[in-house]
C-alpha cells in the first residue's frame, strides 16, 4: 500500500434512533447494555449508487433465471446490519446473512414439438435431474475470466456441480449460493448451453471491485491507525465480503472491549474501488442526579448534586463507556454517604446522543456515635496489656459537601488520644481533586519502646495541630504536603514532668520539660492495585523549621516498600523499610526495632533504638482450609550502628543488641479490617514469642 495515499478519513454526526432505557447497576453491569444492535438496528443504511446490469448471453430454455436480477453483496451487507442477531451483538456471520439468498433456477426440457416435458427422474421424490457434461466459470458476458485465481475460487466453491453428473435444481441453486458466499463475487448467473456433447453448465460471475481507498465517517474515538491497519492487507485486491465481515467484527470488538457505545452501522462500495464505512458513536448529552428513597420513590437529597457530579469522570460530549460508568458508580459509593448508586442511559430526543440519569440512595444519617476497641503494640505487660477502648462523634456529609468532622477519644491502660479532625475530600473549585485535612490532637503514649526501665514507666505527651493537603498526581500515586506543630515532653507514672530517664539519659533535645517543633511534611504513596502481585511504596520526609530559636531543627526521612509475587498457589511477599534522621531531634523519636511489625521473635523495641535503621522481611503464604492461610517468614533488622548517636544513647544503656533476626510460622484469616495475623517466631537469642497483628506488615 502506497503510504495510504488513497485512504482518507472524515467525520460526520449520526442520528441515533430511540432505544429502550437500560440500567447499569453496581456492582455488576446490565448484560442488555452490551446489545448495541438494539440501538443500531434502525440506523439509515446506504444504498449502492450503481445499478449492476446483467450481461447478455446466449442461453437455452433448459435453464432460466426466474427473477431476472442479480445479487448485490453490498446491499446484502446493509440488509444484514439492519437485523438484530441472536449472538454477540458486536459480531456478525455470513451464515446468518441474506448473502446466501441470491438466486434460484428452474430446470425444464423441451420436446421436439416445443412443449415442455419433464426429464428423466432419478433419486427420490419428484426432483428431476439433468445430466451435465461440462461445468465452466465465465464472466457476465460469457467470456473467460481475466484472473484465473478468481476462476479457481469459484470452481473450488462448487460441491455438487461436476462434469458428467446429474443435477437437480436445488443442487445447482446451492452451488450458486456457495460461489457468492466465497465473498469475491457480487453476482452469479447459472446458464445452460446445449452442445453436441451434452448440456454445458456455465456460471456467469461478476467479481467485486478492487479495493483502492476508504472513507470512514463518524469514528471520533476509534483510532484512524486501527481502521487503516484493518484494511491495509486488502489494498489493490478484490474486495472479499468475508474479509469485510472480519473487519467489521474487529471494529465492533474494539468498542466492546472498551465498553464504548459504538459500532459499524453502514458499509457500501463506491465507484473507483472506494469503500464507505459508517460508524455510529453515542455521545453523552447531559448528566443528572436523581435522589431516591429506599422504596425507589423520588425524594429530596441532602447532598448537593454538584458534589456528586464532580466525582464523575464521564463528561458531556464523550462517547459513553460502560466501564467508565461502572468506575463512576464505584467512586460515588466510595464517598461513604450513599447506600446505592445506579446509572440509567436514555435517548436524548432526536439528537443521536444519550442522557445519563444517576439514581442515588443516601444513607439514613450522615452522622452518629460509634464505639470500639483495639490493641496497642507498645504495652507488653499488665493484666489488660495493650487493650484500648474508643468512642467517636462524627458527621460524614457536613453541609451536604461530603466533608467529614470527627471527634474521637481512645483510652487504654496508659495510652490516651483525643482528636478533632476535619476533612474536605475535594476542595471546592479545585480541578486537581485536592483534599484538605485539619487536625488537633492531645495524646499520651508509652515511652517504654525507647526508655523502658525496671523502676517504673514513663509516658510521652504530645499536643499536635496541623493542616495537610493531598492530591493524586499520577495513576496510583498520591502526594501530601502539610505543616504540623508539636509540643512533646515526658512524664513519670504519677504525671509529673521529667527530663531524664532511669539511666540519666535526656528525654528531650532542648533540655527543657518539653520540645517545640514546627514540621513541614512531604509524603508520596504508590498504593498499587491491591492484587497479590502488586507493589506498594511510601516515602515521607519531615523537616523541622527554625521559626523560633528554641524550636528543633532536624530532617527525618523514612521509606517503605512491599512487593508481592504469585508462585502457583503460594504467594511470596517481600518488604523493606528504612530511615535516617539528621539534626537535633528528641530521643523518643528514634527509630525503634523489634516487635510485630519489625523483627518478630523480639518484644517491642528490644532490638534497638537508632538514628538510622533498615528492616527486611520475606514471607511465603499458602492456602490451608477455607479462609485460613499458613505462612512461613523471616525478618532481619539493624540500626546500622547509629544507636550511640541518639541523644543519651538509650539503646546502649539498656544493652540492646542493635541488630537481630527472627523466623517463624503463622496463620492468616481475612477480615473487614484486613488479614488477622497470629504468629510464633524464634529470634537469634533462641527465645520464642507469640505475635498478633491486624493488616499487612507496615
SS3 state of residue 528: coil
Contact 692, 629 (CB under 8 A): no
Q: Which of 294, 283, 404 lies closest to 347 in space, CA to CA?
A: 283
- Of 40-44, 177-181, 244-248, 557-561, the range with the lowest mean pLDDT is 40-44
The CA-based angle 224-226-230, given to 5 degrees, is 115
**What nine digits make up the cell of 680?**
510464633
Q: Which residues contact 225 (CB under 8 A, 6 or more apart)?
A: none
- What are the pLDDT digits (tens) for 278-323? 998 999 999 999 999 999 999 999 999 999 999 999 999 999 999 9
Q: Which of 531, 9, 474 lies closest to 231 in space, CA to CA?
A: 9
For residues 92-102, average pLDDT: 30
CA distance 303 to 451: 50
Q: pTM surpassing 0.85?
A: no
The CA-based angle 109-112-113, given to 5 degrees, is 105
Q: pLDDT higher for 44 or 394?
A: 394
Contact 392, 409 (CB under 8 A): yes
Q: Give the strand order in the sheet containing 165-167.
A: 165-167, 130-138, 198-207, 185-195
**What nine digits make up the cell of 44?**
439509515
Please give the mean pLDDT across all residues of the chain.
80
CA distance 334 to 157: 59
What pLDDT does residue 223 have? 92
Contact 463, 486 (CB under 8 A): yes
Residues forming beta bridges with residue 573, ordered by sequence position: 564, 619
What pLDDT does residue 375 have? 64
CA distance 442 to 87: 65
For residues 553-577, average pLDDT: 94
What pLDDT does residue 536 have? 92
Q: pLDDT higher for 125 or 514?
A: 514
Would you say residue 100 has pLDDT above 50?
no
Contact 74, 46 (CB under 8 A): no
**What nine digits make up the cell of 381?**
505487660
Q: Which helix (H) or strand (E) holds 663?
A: strand 659-669
Range picked from 124-128, 266-270, 438-442 for highest mean pLDDT: 438-442
Query: What does DSSP assign to residue 46?
Result: P
- What are the pLDDT digits (tens) for 570-612? 999 999 999 999 999 999 999 999 999 999 999 999 999 999 9
Q: pLDDT higher for 26 or 524?
A: 524
Contact 192, 214 (CB under 8 A): no
Contact 269, 275 (CB under 8 A): yes
Name the percent of the chain lying above pLDDT 70.
79
What pLDDT does residue 71 have? 33
CA distance 696 to 698: 6
The separation between the first and the last C-alpha atoms of the chain, rounded to the nearest angstrom, is: 58
Residues forming beta bridges with residue 276, ordered by sequence position: 215, 268
Contact 513, 500 (CB under 8 A): no
Q: Label residue 698 by pLDDT band (50, 70, 90).
A: low
- Strands 608-610, 688-694: parallel, antiparallel or unpaired by DSSP? unpaired
What pLDDT does residue 532 have? 65
Q: Give the strand order in the sheet containing 354-362.
A: 24-25, 338-347, 354-362, 284-291
Would you say residue 230 has pLDDT above 70?
yes
For residues 658-675, average pLDDT: 91
Query: What does DSSP assign to residue 236?
Result: T
For residues 226-254, average pLDDT: 92
Residue pointed to by grid coordinates 453502514? 266
Residues forming beta bridges with residue 667, ordered by sequence position: 630, 678
Secondary structure of 616-643 as H, E, C letters: EEEEEEEECCCCEEEEEEEEEEECCCCH
**What nine digits make up the cell of 77?**
451487507
What pLDDT does residue 419 have? 97
- What are the pLDDT digits (tens) for 332-349? 999 999 999 999 998 888
Would you say residue 125 has pLDDT above 60?
no
The CA-based angle 43-44-50, given to 5 degrees, is 145
Amino acid at each position: 500500500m502506497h503510504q495510504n495515499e488513497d485512504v482518507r478519513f472524515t467525520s460526520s454526526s449520526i442520528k441515533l434512533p430511540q432505544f429502550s432505557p437500560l440500567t447499569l447497576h453496581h456492582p455488576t453491569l446490565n448484560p442488555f447494555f452490551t446489545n448495541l444492535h438494539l440501538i443500531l438496528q434502525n440506523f439509515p443504511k446506504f444504498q449502492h449508487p450503481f445499478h449492476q446490469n446483467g450481461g447478455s448471453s446466449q442461453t437455452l430454455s433448459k435453464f432460466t433465471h426466474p427473477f431476472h436480477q442479480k445479487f448485490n453483496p453490498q446491499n446484502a451487507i446493509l440488509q444484514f446490519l439492519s437485523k438484530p442477531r441472536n449472538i454477540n451483538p458486536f459480531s456478525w456471520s455470513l451464515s446468518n446473512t441474506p448473502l446466501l439468498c441470491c438466486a434460484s433456477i428452474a430446470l425444464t426440457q423441451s420436446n421436439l414439438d416445443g412443449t415442455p416435458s419433464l426429464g428423466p427422474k432419478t433419486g427420490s421424490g419428484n426432483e428431476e435431474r439433468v445430466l451435465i457434461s461440462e461445468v465452466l466459470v465465465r464472466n457476465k458476458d460469457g467470456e473467460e475470466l481475466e484472473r484465473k485465481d478468481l476462476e479457481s475460487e469459484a470452481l473450488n466453491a462448487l460441491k455438487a456441480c461436476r462434469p458428467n453428473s446429474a443435477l437437480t435444481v436445488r443442487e445447482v441453486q446451492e452451488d450458486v449460493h456457495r460461489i457468492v458466499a466465497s465473498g469475491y463475487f457480487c453476482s452469479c448467473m447459472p446458464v445452460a448451453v446445449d452442445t453436441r456433447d451434452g448440456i454445458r453448465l456455465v456460471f456467469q460471475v461478476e467479481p467485486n471491485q478492487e479495493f483502492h481507498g476508504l472513507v470512514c465517517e463518524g469514528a471520533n474515538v476509534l483510532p484512524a491507525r486501527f481502521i487503516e491497519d484493518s484494511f491495509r492487507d486488502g489494498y489493490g485486491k478484490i474486495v472479499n465480503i468475508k474479509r469485510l465481515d472480519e473487519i467489521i467484527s474487529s471494529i465492533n470488538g474494539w468498542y466492546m472491549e472498551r465498553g464504548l457505545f459504538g459500532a459499524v452501522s453502514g458499509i457500501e462500495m463506491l465507484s473507483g474501488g472506494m469503500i464507505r464505512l459508517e460508524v455510529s458513536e453515542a455521545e453523552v448529552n447531559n448528566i443528572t442526579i436523581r435522589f431516591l428513597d429506599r422504596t425507589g420513590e423520588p425524594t429530596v437529597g441532602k447532598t448537593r448534586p454538584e458534589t456528586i457530579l464532580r466525582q464523575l469522570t464521564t463528561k458531556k460530549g464523550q462517547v459513553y463507556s460502560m466501564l467508565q460508568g461502572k468506575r463512576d458508580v464505584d467512586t460515588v459509593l466510595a464517598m461513604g454517604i450513599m447506600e446505592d448508586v445506579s446509572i440509567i442511559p436514555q435517548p436524548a430526543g432526536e439528537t443521536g446522543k444519550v442522557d445519563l440519569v444517576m439514581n442515588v440512595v443516601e444513607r439514613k444519617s450522615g452522622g452518629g456515635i460509634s464505639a470500639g476497641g483495639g490493641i496497642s503494640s507498645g504495652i507488653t505487660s499488665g493484666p489488660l496489656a495493650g487493650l484500648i477502648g474508643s468512642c467517636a462523634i462524627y458527621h460524614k456529609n457536613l453541609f451536604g459537601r461530603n466533608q467529614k468532622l470527627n471527634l474521637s477519644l481512645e483510652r487504654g491502660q496508659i495510652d490516651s488520644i483525643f482528636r478533632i479532625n476535619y476533612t474536605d475530600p475535594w476542595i471546592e473549585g479545585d480541578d486537581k481533586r485536592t483534599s484538605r485535612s485539619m487536625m488537633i490532637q492531645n495524646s499520651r503514649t508509652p515511652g517504654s519502646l525507647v526508655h523502658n526501665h525496671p523502676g517504673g514507666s514513663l509516658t510521652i505527651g504530645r499536643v499536635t495541630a496541623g493542616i495537610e493537603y493531598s492530591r493524586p498526581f499520577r495513576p496510583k500515586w498520591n502526594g501530601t504536603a502539610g505543616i504540623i506543630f508539636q509540643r512533646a515532653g515526658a512524664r513519670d507514672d504519677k504525671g509529673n514532668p521529667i527530663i531524664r530517664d532511669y539511666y540519666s539519659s535526656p528525654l528531650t533535645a532542648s533540655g527543657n520539660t518539653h520540645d517545640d517543633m514546627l514540621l513541614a511534611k512531604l509524603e508520596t504513596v504508590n498504593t498499587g492495585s491491591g492484587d497479590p502481585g502488586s507493589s506498594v511504596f511510601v516515602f515521607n520526609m519531615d523537616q523541622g523549621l527554625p521559626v523560633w530559636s528554641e524550636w528543633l531543627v532536624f530532617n527525618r526521612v523514612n521509606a517503605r516498600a512491599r512487593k508481592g509475587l504469585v508462585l502457583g498457589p503460594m504467594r511470596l511477599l517481600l518488604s523493606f523499610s528504612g530511615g535516617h534522621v539528621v539534626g537535633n531531634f528528641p530521643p523518643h523519636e528514634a527509630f525503634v526495632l523489634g516487635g510485630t511489625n519489625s523483627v518478630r521473635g523480639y518484644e517491642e523495641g528490644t532490638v534497638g533504638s537508632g538514628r538510622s535503621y533498615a528492616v527486611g522481611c520475606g514471607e511465603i503464604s499458602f492456602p490451608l482450609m477455607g479462609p485460613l492461610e499458613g505462612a512461613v517468614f523471616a525478618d532481619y533488622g539493624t540500626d546500622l550502628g547509629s544507636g550511640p548517636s541518639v541523644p543519651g544513647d538509650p539503646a546502649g544503656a539498656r544493652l540492646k543488641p542493635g541488630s537481630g533476626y527472627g523466623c517463624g510460622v503463622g496463620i492468616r484469616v481475612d477480615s473487614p479490617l484486613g488479614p488477622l495475623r497470629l504468629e510464633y517466631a524464634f529470634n537469634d537469642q533462641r527465645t520464642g514469642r507469640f505475635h498478633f497483628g491486624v493488616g499487612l506488615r507496615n
